[in-house]
């Protein structure tokens, strides 16, 4: 049974007559120019860096000052998935999703002030490496490597690809899967031509253009709706003309302008927001490889803190740049963005669960003038591609260095490079297959899908890191069983969520009680408590960790004098067979490969002269060319460790940073209180 509201469009729903704008010739010209510029930067950076040496490839961001660190942290956190997801959640349920951003404001400061001093003192460059040093053994490192790959597929790669494809679909009216394949083709070109050096060169620029574009769209949106007052009054009238009778389907939430909501019946209960949300947020900001690696690239601790402060201040903006424009999009296009009938939604965006995720692309296409529209599209897609290349690279590094190298310790550099590239292809295929589940997940709200999966997989890892850093008695057995039990429970809940999806509006809820009544943020709290308890109990019942597992590896021992040699893993019979090679830090293995395989390389140099020009060009594009002088040097040179930020801080700079920390925390508390 359907009814129509008394809106002017009640005779013919606007989704049937609404003129579907798409990109014009000028917009496409701007888009093409932008890509040519990005590829030019990529080719220039290829020419400037020695990609055939891993040192030249990985150390492009060696000694960063505070502002590129801050821009890099912000850019790697806010991709096109963020724009689509936050605006979609704003359109569907109001400002509550902002809580995730403002939670990140505090967590990025926790990274700089509490976690980074420990990582720097420990002299680590990767997160699995820290746990290997802190707890010893290989199983936690292996476990974590596999888990990180799953998290990358479920919450990063497929989500980013879906978000980018949604933009292309809205702008060019292409099929979603054609858009995904097209996007991947361009990304492959970008990855091969530019590599990570291009991402580093364009990251700060990308942040600047992203902010300019988003603020411009925000101004256009607020002018269109009559400012903040207009938004607050008109949002509650943004009801689709076609919806089910006597139901709440398609109606805006009464608590749309509150961040703290009912603890039992709401979509984001406030105790879950305060505690359950903070735990995955700590995992992301304080232990995720992509984020921590960028902070460790800073010159010293002061620059790392400055970068975190910059990111923290920038995290205030998403409410005004993404969430509120999403709400305005619902006001301007209620029949499209807020559709409440499964069949209509399927016609509009191909997703019967709802079309709130088209809120942001709809604004870009409909509100911005010609030219600016093309620039905004190119910013979205380029931001997506740079995050995809970073994730692909870190995922293939984790796979080849932490897993493949463990099972084949004597493999050659060529084998590792080929395995890394093949794994990226495999990862891409798996991610494409996962997209329909992303599309259907959590009532069509992309951001909520990301956060629910994070709440099932990340709390056990976060608690193991926190206990490892701040409790000296935590040992390997406790950490392993805490991870194993926590992740088993998380995976069970994840599977239940996919077997019993959230019913569409108006349907009867037939889900089991644990899924129906336990919100994912409450589940995050339970999971963290069980993992913590397991680590505490098992650690207390087993032998304490050795002295070398604690020295310079916890908050209380970070000031210890450096140990002359790494004793993190006790020698085992396997060491003689070369398995210990796999236990080096992932990036250091990479750097030392050249000297390890110098005998193989010497054989290759004679073959290199016989290669055709086509083969040589292809290998150069892939960064797999061998230079004779590099090969000769590799035999004599010893592997150099990656430069790690120093703990030195000048007293004046330290005071300035601490005052800024107080200001930032006060600003965060004020915002929470004002919008709660």
Which CATH number covers residue 369? 1.20.1730.10
Predicted pLDDT of residue 284: 92
Distance CA 394, CA 148 (A): 10
Residue 464 within any structural domain of the chain: no
Which one of 178-182, 296-300, 570-574, 646-650 scores highest in mean pLDDT? 296-300
Residue 522 within any structural domain of the chain: no
Q: CB–CB of 467/475 below 8 Å?
A: no
Phi, psi for 319 (deg, rounded to 5): -60, -45
Predicted pLDDT of residue 199: 58
Predicted pLDDT of residue 460: 95
Query: Strand, coil or helix: what is 19?
Result: coil
pLDDT category at 218 given cuts 50, 70, 90 is: very high
Range of 166's domain? 22-242+251-439+643-650
Residue 254 has pLDDT above 60, yes or no: yes
Residue 1 within any structural domain of the chain: no
Rg for the chain, CA atoms, rounded: 26
**Residues ≥6 apart with Cβ < 8 Å to 362:** 170, 329, 332, 333, 336, 337
Q: To which H or E segment does residue 198 belong?
A: helix 176-225
Whose structure tokens read 């644990």?
A: 514
Residue 107 within any structural domain of the chain: yes
pLDDT in tens, 149-159: 888 877 787 77
Residue 12 within any structural domain of the chain: no
pLDDT category at 172 given cuts 50, 70, 90 is: confident
Per DSSP, the residues of 240-254 read: -SEEETTS-TTPPPT
Predicted pLDDT of residue 611: 61
Looking at the structure of the chain, the number of domains it has is 1
In this prediction, residues 379-406 reach a mean pLDDT of 75
Residue 460 within any structural domain of the chain: no
Structure tokens at 311: 């990111």
Residue 167 within any structural domain of the chain: yes
Residue 632 within any structural domain of the chain: no
Predicted pLDDT of residue 559: 85
Q: CB–CB of 443/450 below 8 Å?
A: no
The distance in angstroms from the start CA to the end CA of the chain is 37
583-620: b (≥16 Cβ within 10 Å) or e: bbbbbbbbbbbbebbbeebeeeeeebeeeeeeeeeebe
In this prediction, residues 292-311 reach a mean pLDDT of 88
pLDDT in tens, 367-384: 888 888 888 877 777 677
In this prediction, residues 624-633 reach a mean pLDDT of 47
Going 351 to 356 to 358 to 362, the CA torsion angle's sign is positive
Predicted pLDDT of residue 617: 67
């Amino acid at each position: 049974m359907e009814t129509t509201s008394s809106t002017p469009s009640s005779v013919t729903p606007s989704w049937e007559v609404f003129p579907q704008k798409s990109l014009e010739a000028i917009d496409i010209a701007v888009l093409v120019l932008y890509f040519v510029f990005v590829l030019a930067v990529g080719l220039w950076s290829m020419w400037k860096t020695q990609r055939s040496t891993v040192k030249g490839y990985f150390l492009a961001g060696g000694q960063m000052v505070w502002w590129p660190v801050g821009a890099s942290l912000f850019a790697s956190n806010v991709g096109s998935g963020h724009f689509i997801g936050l605006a979609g959640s704003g359109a569907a349920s109001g400002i509550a999703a902002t809580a995730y951003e403002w939670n990140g404001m505090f967590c990025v400061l926790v990274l700089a002030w509490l976690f980074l001093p420990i990582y720097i003192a420990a002299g680590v460059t990767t997160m699995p490496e820290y746990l290997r040093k802190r707890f010893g053994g290989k199983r936690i490192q292996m476990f974590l490597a596999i888990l990180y790959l799953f998290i990358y597929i479920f919450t990063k790669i497929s989500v980013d690809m879906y978000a980018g494809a949604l933009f292309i679909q809205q702008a060019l009216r292409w099929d979603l899967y054609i858009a995904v394949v097209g996007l991947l083709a361009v990304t492959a070109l970008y990855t091969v031509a530019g590599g990570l050096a291009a991402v580093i060169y364009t990251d700060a620029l990308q942040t600047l253009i992203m902010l300019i574009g988003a603020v411009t769209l925000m101004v256009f949106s607020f002018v269109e709706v009559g400012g903040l007052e207009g938004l607050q009054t008109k949002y509650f009238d943004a009801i689709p003309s076609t919806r089910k009778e006597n139901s709440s389907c398609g109606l805006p939430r009464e608590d749309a302008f509150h961040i703290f909501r009912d603890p039992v019946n709401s979509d984001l209960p406030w105790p879950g927001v305060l505690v359950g949300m903070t735990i995955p947020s700590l995992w992301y900001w304080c232990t995720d490889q992509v984020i921590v690696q960028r902070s460790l690239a800073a010159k010293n601790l002061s620059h790392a803190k400055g970068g975190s402060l910059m990111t923290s201040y920038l995290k205030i903006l998403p409410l005004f740049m993404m969430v509120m424009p999403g709400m305005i999009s619902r006001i301007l296009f209620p029949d499209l963005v807020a559709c409440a009938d499964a069949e209509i939604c399927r016609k509009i965006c191909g997703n019967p669960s709802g079309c709130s995720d088209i809120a942001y692309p709809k604004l870009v296409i409909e509100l911005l003038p010609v030219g600016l529209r093309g620039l905004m599209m190119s910013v979205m897609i380029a931001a997506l591609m740079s995050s995809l290349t970073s994730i692909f690279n870190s995922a293939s590094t984790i796979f080849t260095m932490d897993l493949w190298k463990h099972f084949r310790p004597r493999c050659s550099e060529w084998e590792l490079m080929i395995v890394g590239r093949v794994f990226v292809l495999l990862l891409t295929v798996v991610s494409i297959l996962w997209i329909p589940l992303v599309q259907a997940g959590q009532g069509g709200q992309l951001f909520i899908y990301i956060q629910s999966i994070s709440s099932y997989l990340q709390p056990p890892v976060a608690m193991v890191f926190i206990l490892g850093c701040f409790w000296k008695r935590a040992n390997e057995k406790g950490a392993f069983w805490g991870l194993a039990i926590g992740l088993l429970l998380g995976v069970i809940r994840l599977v239940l969520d996919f077997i019993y999806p959230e019913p569409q509006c108006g349907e009867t809820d037939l889900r089991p009680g644990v899924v129906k009544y336990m919100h994912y943020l409450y589940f995050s709290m339970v999971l963290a408590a069980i993992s913590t308890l397991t680590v505490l109990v098992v650690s207390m019942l087993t032998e304490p960790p050795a002295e070398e597992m604690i020295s310079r590896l916890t908050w209380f021992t970070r000031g210890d004098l450096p140990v002359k040699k790494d004793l993190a893993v006790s020698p085992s019979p396997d060491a003689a067979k070369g398995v210990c090679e796999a236990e080096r830090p992932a990036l250091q293995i990479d750097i030392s490969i050249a000297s390890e395989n110098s005998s193989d390389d010497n054989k290759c140099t004679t073959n290199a002269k016989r290669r055709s020009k086509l083969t040589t060009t292809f290998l150069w594009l892939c960064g797999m060319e061998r230079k004779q002088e590099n090969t000769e040097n590799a035999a004599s040179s010893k592997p150099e460790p990656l430069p790690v930020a120093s703990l030195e801080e000048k007293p004046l700079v330290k005071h300035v940073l601490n005052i800024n920390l107080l200001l930032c925390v006060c600003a965060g508390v004020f915002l929470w209180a004002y919008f709660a």
